[in-house]
Structures are given as C-alpha cells and as structure tokens.
Structure 1
Amino acid sequence: MSTQYIYLHGFASSPKSAKARYFGHRFTEIETELKIPDLNAGDFSQLTIARQITQVAAELPKDSTPVTIIGSSLGGLTAIHLAQQYLQIQRLVLLAPAFGFLSHWLPKLTDEEIQRWQQEKYLMVYHYEEGRSLPLNYNFVTDAAQYEEEILQRPIPTLILHGKNDEVIPIEASRDFGRSRPWVELVELDSDHALGNVMEEIWQAIRLFCQLP
C-alpha cells in the first residue's frame, strides 16, 4: 500500500514558504504526491495547535493508508501530537521541531506585552508569508500550554533534523527529546532555524529514511 505524504509548514508561514515549495518540487520530481495544507486556514488570528491538529486529521486518508508527515517547526510539533492520536501515521520527519515552543517564544516578549495580550486578547505578530503583522488571539497561548512533550511516548520511527545554531528553538530541545526515546534519530546540521543552507542534505536524509525513489 503506498504511503501518503503530508507537509506541515511552521508558525506564521504558509504553503508558499521556501521549504514547502522546495519539498513540493522534490516530490513532483519523483512523481509522488505531497499534500501541503494551509494551516492559516484563512484566519491566522484564531490559530491554535488544536485547530491545526483537527485540520490535518480531516486530511488523513479514510482507509488504512499509512501516512508520513514532514513537519517544520510548529508544524513538526503538530505532527508529533497527531501521531500520538492517529495510528495510521507511521513515520515522522521533524525539521527544527518547536519543542517547548512557549518557553522559547514568550520570553522574547516583555511582561507588559504579555499582560496587554491577555487583557486585549490580541497581539500583533509578524507573518512571514504575508509580509506584515497580523493579530493573534491569546487562545493560542492557553491552547499551546496543554501540549506537553512528556505524553509523546508512541514509538514511531522519527527523524529529527535540527540546526546547531538554531536561534528560535535551541538544538538542546531536540537532544533532550531524543535522549529518552530510542526510536528517534537526530541529525545535527550546521544551520539555523530556517535550515536554508542544508536543504539538499535534508532531502537526501528524507529520501533514505522514507525509502523514496
């Protein structure tokens, strides 16, 4: 039975991102379909991890077709929580997965900004794909807080590719995650969070891991 492949883009990104386009092109070259859902779902302001999970779950094949998810950053975090719930997801490739997302992202805001966000319900967040700031509801934070890494114990073949100089999600987050999970393989790359300079290397690792032509 042929595997279905799904790519999940990162936070404040889109299916038009450099990575999404790169993988879309590579999968086309090997004549394999890669689904790339738009996790903004037409309303970035109401984004939550729960909404992403629900949206992607609806994309899963209705039969028992096995699924491999490639997830970037917050898309990677979403992918691994999906795999915990949906057994037809049988393989994961996580690119700089956003483990401990809030603990790395919130400290970049001042206490005053966070307080104002709670009170006013919206914070302006720069959206890379739109090239401008968009409002994000505080529900994003309350929702994200309930996704704990400790619960992720399903032993599913997982390849993590993470840059050693990642300025958004430190590589320690992936090292810590893999340490107690023997089914996780971590590849450390000479790159930052965007992984832009190592895409060819990542593609070769994915091909090998997923046994792609």
Structure 2
Amino acid sequence: MKSTYFYLHGFASSPQSNKARQLGDRFAERHLTLHVPDLNFGNFTHLTFTRQLERVSRLFPPPPSPVTLIGSSFGGLTALWLAQQSTQVDRLVILAPALRFLYFWLPTLDPTALHDWEARGYLDVYHYGEGRDVPLHYNFVKDLQQYRDERLGRSRPTLILHGQQDEVIPIQASRSFVRDRPWANLVELDSDHSLANVLPEIWHEIRNFCQI
C-alpha cells in the first residue's frame, strides 16, 4: 500500500515556506503529491499544539492507509507526536526538530514581555508566513506544557536532519533524543536552523530513506 506524504511547516510559518515549496517541487518531479497543510488553520492567534495535532490527523487518508510525515522544526515536533498517537504513521523525516521547544524559546523573550503575556493573555509574535506581528494567546504555552518529549516512545523508522550550527534548537537536543531511541537516526549537517544551504542534501536523504 502506497504511503501518503505530508510536509508540516514550522512555527509561525506557512505552506509557502522555501522548504515546503522546494520539497513539493521535488516530489512532483517524481509524480508524487506532497500534502502541505496550513498548520495555522486560519487562526494563529488561538493556535495550540493539541489543535494542530487534531487538525492534521483529520487530513489522513482512511485507515489503514500508511502516512509518511516530513516535519520542520515545530512541524517536526508535531510529526513526532502524531506518530506517537496514530498507528497510520509508518515513517518520519524530521528537520531540525523543535524538541524542548518551550525550554529553548521562552528564555529568549524579554522577562517583562513574558510576564505581560501570561497576565494579559496575548503576545505579538512575528509570523514569517504573513510578514507581520500576530498576537498569540498564552493558551499556546499552557497547552504545550503537557507534551513532554520523554513520552515519545513509539518505535517508527525516523530520520532526523539537524544543523550543527542551529541557533534555535541546539543539535544536542537531537543527539540526546536518538541516544535512547534505536529506531531514530540522526544526520548532522553543516547548517543552521533554517537548513537553507543544504536542501539538496536533505532531498538526497529523504529520497533514500523513503525509497522514492
């Protein structure tokens, strides 16, 4: 049974991101469809991780059709949790996964802004897909706190591609993740979080891993 392929974009991004478009083109060249849903689902302000997981899972083909997920950053974290929850996910390719996302992201915010976000409910976050600041509700943080990486234990063939100079999610996060998960393989790349300079290498790894 042929797999259905999904690409899950990163936090505050969109289906028009550079990686999404380039990978979509590569899949099309092989007469394959790469589904790229908008993970904002028209309402970034009230985004929660739970909502993202529920909405993406509804896009899966009817069971038992297999699904291959390719996720970038926060979309990679989404892919890992979807594999934890759904037996349909049979293969994962994760680009710079946003493991321990809140641990690394929240300290980058101004302490006053962080306090005001919790007190007032909203924080302006730059949305790369829209090219402007968009308010995000604090429920995003409260919801995500319940998803702990150590609970990701369902065995699925998993390829992780991570830049050694990643300035957003240090590569050590992926190194630690694969250490106790023998089904996951880490390929370290000479790049930063965007992985923009290694897209040909990424496609080579995806093509071999997915056998397409």
Normalised-by-shorter TM-score class: over 0.9
Deviations 1:8-55 (A, max 9, x none): 000000000001001111110000111100011111101111111001
Q: CA deviation at 1:91?
A: 0.3
| Runs of 4+ with deviation above 4 angstroms | none
Q: Which residue of 2 aligns with 1:199?
A: 199
Count residues with an aligned counterpart. 212
Deviations 1:87-141 (A, max 9, x none): 0100000000000000000000122111100111000000111111000000010
Q: Which residue of 2 aligns with 1:62?
A: 62
Measured in 2, the distance between the counterparts of 1:170 and 1:63 equals 36
Measured in 2, the distance between the counterparts of 1:22 and 1:51 equals 27
Q: CA deviation at 1:158?
A: 0.2
Amino acid of the residue matched to residue 69 of structure 1?
A: L
Measured in 2, the distance between the counterparts of 1:35 and 1:109 equals 33
Q: Which residue of 1 aligns with 2:40?
A: 40
The alignment-based identity, stated in percent, is: 58
Instruction: Find the residue that maps to 1:7 and give its secondary structure.
Output: strand
Q: Which residue of 1 aligns with 2:78?
A: 78
What is the TM-score of this pair, normalised by structure 1? 0.98
Instruction: Find the residue that maps to 1:54 and give its secondary structure.
Output: helix
Q: CA deviation at 1:64?
A: 1.1
Q: Which residue of 2 aligns with 1:162?
A: 162
Matches within 5 A, 1:171-190: 171-190=171-190
Instruction: Find the residue that maps to 1:71 and give its secondary structure.
Output: strand
Deviations 1:128-176 (A, max 9, x none): 1111100000001001111111111111000000000000000000000
Instruction: Find the residue that maps to 1:156 and give its secondary structure.
Output: coil
Amino acid of the residue matched to residue 6 of structure 2?
A: I
Structure 2, unmatched stretches of 5+, are none
Contact 2:63 2:88 in 1 (8 A): no
Q: Which residue of 2 aligns with 1:137?
A: 137
Measured in 2, the distance between the counterparts of 1:107 and 1:51 equals 24
Matches within 5 A, 1:80-99: 80-99=80-99
Measured in 1, the distance between the counterparts of 2:179 and 2:120 equals 40
Measured in 1, the distance between the counterparts of 2:54 and 2:149 equals 19
What is the TM-score of this pair, normalised by structure 2? 0.99
RMSD: 0.6
Instruction: Find the residue that maps to 1:59 and give its secondary structure.
Output: coil
Instruction: Find the residue that maps to 2:58 and give its secondary structure.
Output: helix
